[in-house]
Amino acid sequence: MVLLELIAIDGKDPVSFTFFTGYMAMLAAAVFFFAERGSVDAKWRLSLLVSGLITGIAAVHYYYMRDFYASTGETPVALRYIDWTLTVPLMCIEFYLLLRPAGAKTSFMWKLIIASVVMLVAGYIGEAFTDGSMGHSVLWGVISTIGYVYILYSAWFGEAKQLADASNSTAVKSGIKALAWFVLVGWAIYPIGYMTMPGGWLGPDGAGLFAAKDINLFYNVADAINKIGFGLVVYNIAVRESANTLLEKVTKPA
């Protein structure tokens, strides 16, 4: 009975709805990526494992977040940031794994991880420890955005872009381009969500377009796009590259 109460959702509440669909979608994606590991070439299995881990970790957190939200009606800030602290660096590792054949060094991976940690820790402090003052959310929001802009720069102009350009694989080139788009458009949904917080431009104190709880709607939609979409791009590269490898083996003279 307690469990039934916990998982009861309000059909008219899109936040609650997206917590549930988000959980199921993440779980399904994780199963898919783990199952598909066997169908790609060995060198791409680690990438699919990481994709499976990203969506799997997110599925577990969404399981707890949906119940937390359903039972309290409040935003699960801590759970959200625990999820991101684990999954976003893994996305940076995906970038590294894809670009490793093109010569990416571990220093490239660490730079992205550090930038993502700056982005998340500052975002968490800004959101969870807010004292309601403008200075607090602005300061930590700006620090967080600097981390994000660094990753964005790397994907569009910096090391990631240069490594992709140097790669011989068209699948890797187009894949990195797709991931750069995810970082530009998909990740930009989070700071827009941030603006629905009390005092924010889109929130009840500003334009009044969204309620404070709607921050979850933005985050849930963004998570689904970025985590599952990100994984599908990686999967697509893995499948295309595996097919090329197979073709090379078949056509190679004995």
Partner 1 sequence: MMKQPTFLFIALLLLSFPFLSGGLELSMENQFMVSMFLVFTIGIAHGSVDNILYLKKTTVKPLSFYLIYLLLVGSYALLWFVFPLFAITSFLLISAYHFGQSQLIDCFKNSTLMHKFLYAVWGISLLSALLNIKQGEIVAIFSSYEDLRIFETLLGSEYIHYLHIASTITVVALLLYFTASRQFSNERMFFEFFILILINFSFAAFPVLPGFTLYFVFLHSLNSLQDEFKFLKNRDQLQIWSFIKKLLPNTIISIAATLVIFASIYFDYIDFSYGFVILVLISSITFPHVFVMEKFYSPDL
Give me the residues that bind partner 1 (CB under 8 A), please.
126, 134-135, 137-142, 144-146, 148-149, 152-153, 156-157, 177, 181, 184-185, 188, 191-192, 194-195, 197, 199-202, 205-206
Q: CB of residue 117 vs partner 1: minimum separation in angstroms?
A: 18
**Tokens describing residue 120:** 């998340």
Contact yes or no for 214/208 (Cβ under 8 A): no
Distance in Å from the first CA to the final CA of the chain: 67
CB 253 to partner 1: min, Å = 38
Q: How far apart are CA 143 and CA 60, in angstroms?
A: 29
Nearest to 33 by CA among 13, 14, 50: 50
Closest distance of CB 207 from partner 1, Å: 8
116 SS3 class = helix
Nearer to partner 1, 78 or 146 (CB): 146
Shortest spacing between CB 94 and partner 1, in angstroms = 21
> Of the two residues 6 and 129, which places its CB atom closer to partner 1 in the complex?
129
Nearer Cβ to partner 1 (14/198) = 198
Of 23, 62, 77, the C-alpha closest to 213 is: 77
CB of 237 to partner 1, least distance (A): 17
Nearer to partner 1 by Cβ, of 101 and 191: the residue is 191
At residue 114's C-alpha, the angle toward residues 109 and 116, to 5°, is: 95
